[in-house]
Amino acid sequence: MEEPGTPRSVGNNLDPWYSNYAERTAGLSASEVRALFAVASRPEVVSLAGGMPNVSALPHDVITDSIARVMREQGATALQYGSGAGQPVLREQILEVMALEGIRGTVDNVVTTVGSQQALDLVTKLFIDPGDVILAEAPSYVGAIGVFRSYQASVVHVAMDDDGLIPDALRQTIAQLRGQGRRIKFLYTIPNFHNPAGITLSAERRPEILEICRANEILVVEDNPYGLLYFDHPAPDALRSIDDEGVIYLGSFSKTLAPGFRVGWVLAPHAIREKLILAAESAILSPSAFSQLTVAEYLKTADWKGQIDTFRGVYHERKKAMVSALAEYLPDLTWTDPNGGFYVWLSLPDQLDSKQMLPRAVKELVAFTPGTAFFADGRGRHAMRLSFCHPTPENIRVGIRRLATVINGEIDLLETFAGTGMLESRSSDRHVSTPPPNLN
């Protein structure tokens, strides 16, 4: 018989080690996006949920040739440990990629990472103590919210409209938090083709947002995986192009090449860069030399800019298919109309709950991501993110038709039982369900 107080005697019925976990593990939970994959991956389900790039549009023979050349010419290096900062040849090429969005930098300030998700984790690890505040747009990227929670940060959302983050809302939020004596560590923002809202921060607001943060000594973390995937015209130059001391820039090849390589990067001021390398080395020793050298070979030998043009055309066609289907099947609702990226943000009537609707949608063989996934404070119930990047235009149309069946069925139910009191419980949290101003 175990002695009282041993780990197994203080757990719960499902996990005997429950009481031994660190406090920060309370912030670890499966995201609503991840939980969807098992169901949404069924072939009969049209998934408008996950932001999976359309890798079928890649020239697979070119990728195969790049891998073969790496193994033939640099095999010993590719299969060995590497630098914590990453392969110098790839870091040089990353400067060329970022120059397309007005960014100037040096190789010494670039750190390659295992996707931009690891970059986000490292930055948060360096700056956040439990209870520190991170400012984030409302809504915000579900993967970022998960990272912030895991480090016990307090995420405070700042309102957006059709031109992105609202400067006055940012000022007011900062003043309110400072008045409460709370520590704000950084602003996390996705200014280009936002995930999940699909909107882009206007050129006029960019210097104003940076000045607000500079005046309040708040670091800006700019996450930009979609910036080159524009449709009709490019997004304004990156925030980092305006301020190279107050902005940490996160980039990724997951959307412009393929996520399977797991190659991203951070461009940071020098002092921060040194700490990022130490943090990365303590976590993984070094990023994969094989993946980095394969990406570098692809960038050296392939028409990578032409491939990004191809992706733009593919995603633009899919976006138009989604917007057209929404206009046909759900004309009374509202949604954003992005000029790039992967996502449309759909707003529902106030009393509908996207999270409650999801099981019924899956039964109708369509999946989406509920709006609640993109808020740290419970909002988003009458909104959903629709992803157009992966399904074909034909399947997008089928998916929206199925989704309309679910939504219209819910609306009919509301109209049938309106005034009976039977639906009051469903609207009781309406005060936390309002989407960002003017996004609906």
pLDDT, one tens digit per residue, over 49-85 is 989 999 999 999 999 999 999 999 999 999 999 999 9
Q: Which of 301, 324, 350 marks a domain boundary? A: 301
Residues 119 and 140 in one domain: yes
- Using CA atoms, how far apart are residues 244 and 229, in angstroms rounded to an integer? 23
Residues 112 and 172 in one domain: yes
Work out how many domains the chain is built from and give that number: 2
Domain assignment present for 209: yes
Predicted local confidence at residue 24, as pLDDT: 78
Residues 110-154 pLDDT 10s: 999 999 999 999 999 999 999 999 999 999 999 999 999 999 999
- Let me know whether 187 and 263 are in one domain: yes
Higher-pLDDT residue of 316, 3 = 316
189 and 333 together in one domain: no
Query: What phi, psi does 251 have (nearest 5°)?
Result: -125, 170
Residue type, 16: P
Distances (CA, A) of 171 to 19, 168, 218, 339: 41, 5, 12, 27
Structural contact between residues 320 and 337, judged by C-beta atoms closer than 8 angstroms: no
| Domain co-membership, 264 together with 297 | yes
Question: What count of Cα atoms within 13 Å lies in the side-chain half-sphere of residue 154?
Answer: 9
Tens digit of each residue's pLDDT (9 = 90 or more) over 227-237: 999 999 999 99
Q: Is the domain of 53 the same as that of 114? A: no
Domain hosting 46: range is 25-57+307-417
Q: How many CB atoms lie within 10 A of CB 231?
A: 17
Task: Look at residue 184 and tell me if it is in a domain.
Answer: yes
Measure the N-to-C terminal CA separation of the chain; round to a whole number of Å: 61
CA distances from 12 to 15, 18, 29, 30, 180 (A): 5, 6, 17, 19, 37
CATH number, domain at 85? 3.40.640.10
336 and 236 in a common domain: no
Same domain (yes/no): 203, 86: yes
Task: Enter the pTM of the model.
Answer: 0.89
